[in-house]
Structure 1
Amino acid sequence: MLLEEKVQVLEVTEVSGEMLRLRTSGGAGRAVLYRRLCRDAKVGDWVIVNTTAVRLHLGTGGWDIVRIVLPDNDDNETSLKEKPDGHIMKLRYLADQHSVLSLESPESEEHCLFKKRLSLKNKHVLIGELHSMLIIAWFLLSSKKSLVAVISDEASLPLPVSRNLEYLHNQPGFYSLTSGQAFGGKGEVINVATGLQYAAEKFPDSAVIVTLGPGSAGTGTTYGYSGLAQAGWANLTGSFGGTPVWIPRLSEADKRKRHKGISHHTVTPLTELTYAKSILPLPSGTYSDPLLQDSEEKISIYPHIEMKKIAEEKLWPGLEEVQKMSPFPLTSMGRTMDKDPLFFLGVAAAVHWYLEAELLHHSANV
């Protein structure tokens, strides 16, 4: 189903390099316009917007999406760019297909980096399902490590829709790579493997995380959700000699039983579909232990998983500092840290273990 509506632009409320935000006369009353897919709209223009997600009351549907800016009598503009910047197409075989300069492409200055074999030997790679984990990890890491994020395409394809990424792209020491059909990162790559390769070659001292953009899908079934891709990322990491470090999806506040304690979105791909030796850091203490005990017992029988307990008292100070550093409230599934502290402790445990492991590795090689 595709629902659309013709609306008029009443106000351009925000302009960035990749996107316009508009106030409109119909639909949701607000819309986003991706500037690489549409020419800019101005006040008074009529546009066709996709209203499907809003009509279905989906979590990702707070905004309509501009499909086309209708021409007026004096408007002869037909293209956004006269010269393509690369030959790799994203959104292939859709009306919005467009070319990007993929880093692996022969016309890219970075092409030579991809001719060698990928090695992640002695490299730890953070694996995180939810987009909200990324910015929390960034704040926890930022005073100690730069961060490269490989964004896969199982959720949002246009990265500019993310307010978190808009903020992170303005921070020194952060670099994003959009893989597959996802687009809008600082670099574009064909797949997660070449994203990891570029990160390892160009940013050898940076932390690396693989995650999704916003808007992951779920169906309440065993395998029907975007986060199942974590197993593939972990296996890729292990295949090239690295060690996946899983950011556990934890919750006390989620009303859905499958997400209580350690979410099945972590447990299922990690236990059933991952063969690579994996690290699973978990918070431990009087608050966390009773909430995680049942899940830990189920996971403990799998020999490829090393659970690492991180004392809560080591994690709270960092999370409190994160809250002070962030210019906006940090949330996951609409919940702030005071509403679901276990989620934030899970991210902090993974980052804390990662930093300690990196420190040990550095000390051993000095």
Structure 2
Amino acid sequence: MRIRREWPGAVELDVTTEDGSARALAYPALVGRPEPGDAVLLNTTALAMGLGTGGYAMVVAIPDRLPEDPHGPGHLVKARYTPLQATVLGADEQDSPFHEVLREADSLDGMPVIIADLHSALPAILCGLYGSHPPPRPAGPEDAGREQREAREENGGHRPARVAYVMLDGGALPAWFSMSCAQLREAGWLCGVVTVGQAFGGDVEAVTLHTGLLAARHVLEADVAIVTQGPGNLGTGTRWGFSGVSAGEAVNAAAVLGGRPVAALRVSEGDRRERHIGVSHHSLTAYGRVALAPAQVAVPELPGDFGRRVTEQAEPLSVRHELVGVPVDGLYEALRDAPVRLSTMGRGLDEDLAYFLTSAAAGRHAASLLS
């Protein structure tokens, strides 16, 4: 019926079906661009399940106006063997202009790699990284980084010049789904997005998390990488059945490549589920059991009894990791001024302040490593 809004890679629509009206989302790179009056074929699974994150009808096709057949460059197929599989040019494949760089690349040169469970941690981590000194515009893969490096020098060398987001495939596969990513890129807070595994749609594509991290460093020239799932993580209420186990695997990848893993805890004071109050069982399993390499775990110095609870719950992680206490003073103001809306599981900044402060604390600690 109408186009509601759009951002790079995605178009949000109002559609009508035999059951009424709904919001729908289309990825023009896959299905073409819908226009008012078009008949669209929809996948309504998310609507039927009442999902919060991703509660859209998804446009599968515009039957009367199919997109052109895909043509190169690129031989990397993602979302493989699904009806909407996408062919992309991987930075690590032979036809890529970056193949020679990545063929020999084997080290992150000590680059801090901040790892978090949920996609919603991404903007909060950036708030902690930048504090009161956000980067100038523009930032992008085509930019040699002069403006960002000058900003770092002006801030005493402690502010990251370029930050890349490496998106895992445990949640949404298309990076286009994330409005936050688009807005953070536009604001100059990210120099680029790297999509790895089955995820696609980033500024840079890579086959694995390992080459994705190397691409962040050697292709995007990032000083810091942030690794999380895409939006819409999956959990089952069991110890091992959640997509965030990938956070532990990301610690291993960062460490084996000579990076400096910084683990962001998932902490909540507003979640209704006891297993996520304080330090989530996701963090305790991912970092305590899955991560075999040591990381620096940023433990926020939250006030009161809740802060003591978080510190005590994090203590078992010290068997393998270094726990680093991080002050949170001034982080609320940085979070309040974020260029994107902060939300996790439907809760905003003031509804679950502990969650966002903890994520920002990991960013603050990583910034301190950039001397």
User: Does 1:20 pair with 2:11?
Assistant: yes
**RMSD (Å), alpha carbons:** 1.9
User: Does 1:170 pair with 2:170?
Assistant: no
* 2:60 maps to amino acid: R
> Is the Cα contact below 8 Å between 2:40 and 2:61 reproduced in 1?
yes
Do the aligned partners of residues 270 and 289 (structure 1) sit closer, same or farther apart at CA in structure 2, a change above 3 Å counting? same
Name the TM-score, length of structure 2 as normaliser.
0.86
Shift of 1:261: 0.8
Shift of 1:116: 0.9
Residue 281 of structure 1 is matched in structure 2 by 298
> Is the Cα contact below 8 Å between 1:282 and 1:310 reproduced in 2?
yes
Shift of 1:106: 1.5
Distance in 2 (CA, whole Å) between partners of 1:42 and 1:350 is 43
Distance in 1 (CA, whole Å) between partners of 2:338 and 2:362 is 19
User: Does 1:220 pair with 2:237?
Assistant: yes
User: Does 1:354 pair with 2:366?
Assistant: yes
> Is the Cα contact below 8 Å between 1:243 and 1:277 reproduced in 2?
no
Residue 363 of structure 1 is matched in structure 2 by none
User: Does 1:248 pair with 2:265?
Assistant: yes
* 1:343 maps to amino acid: Y
Shift of 1:241: 2.2
Residues 218-227 or 115-124, more deviating = 115-124
User: Does 1:140 pair with 2:128?
Assistant: yes
Runs of 4+ displaced beyond 6 Å: none
**Which of 272, 286, 290 matches 1:269?**
286
Distance in 2 (CA, whole Å) between partners of 1:151 and 1:137 is 14
> Is the Cα contact below 8 Å between 1:168 and 1:174 reproduced in 2?
no
Residue 325 of structure 2 is matched in structure 1 by 309
* 1:329 maps to amino acid: R
User: Does 1:320 pair with 2:295?
Assistant: no
Shift of 1:46: 1.2
The residue correspondences of 1:61-76 to structure 2 (distance < 5 A) are 61-71=54-64
User: Does 1:115 pair with 2:113?
Assistant: no
User: Does 1:156 pair with 2:172?
Assistant: yes
Distance in 2 (CA, whole Å) between partners of 1:159 and 1:228 is 20
- Give the 3-state SS of the residue equivalent to 1:80 in structure 2: coil
Residue 341 of structure 1 is matched in structure 2 by 353
**Which of 66, 72, 75 matches 1:84?**
72
**Which of 268, 274, 277 matches 1:257?**
274
Residue 246 of structure 2 is matched in structure 1 by 229
Residue 299 of structure 1 is matched in structure 2 by 317
Shift of 1:285: 4.5
Do the aligned partners of residues 342 and 16 (structure 1) sit closer, same or farther apart at CA in structure 2, a change above 3 Å counting? closer
> Is the Cα contact below 8 Å between 1:88 and 1:102 reproduced in 2?
yes
Shift of 1:350: 1.0
Distance in 2 (CA, whole Å) between partners of 1:224 and 1:86 is 34
Name the TM-score, length of structure 1 as normaliser.
0.87
> Is the Cα contact below 8 Å between 1:140 and 1:319 reproduced in 2?
no
Distance in 1 (CA, whole Å) between partners of 2:221 and 2:114 is 14
Structure 1: gaps of 5 or more residues: 1-9, 72-76, 360-366
Do the aligned partners of residues 99 and 293 (structure 1) sit closer, same or farther apart at CA in structure 2, a change above 3 Å counting? closer
Structure 2: gaps of 5 or more residues: 135-158
Give the length in aligned residue pairs: 339
* 2:2 maps to amino acid: E
* 2:176 maps to amino acid: P
User: Does 1:51 pair with 2:44?
Assistant: yes
Distance in 2 (CA, whole Å) between partners of 1:151 and 1:284 is 28
> Is the Cα contact below 8 Å between 1:283 and 1:310 reproduced in 2?
yes
Shift of 1:118: 1.1
Deviations 1:48-104 (A, max 9, x none): 111111111122342100111121xxxxx5433563231111111112122111111
Shift of 1:115: 1.4
Identity %: 30
* 1:86 maps to amino acid: G
Shift of 1:227: 0.3
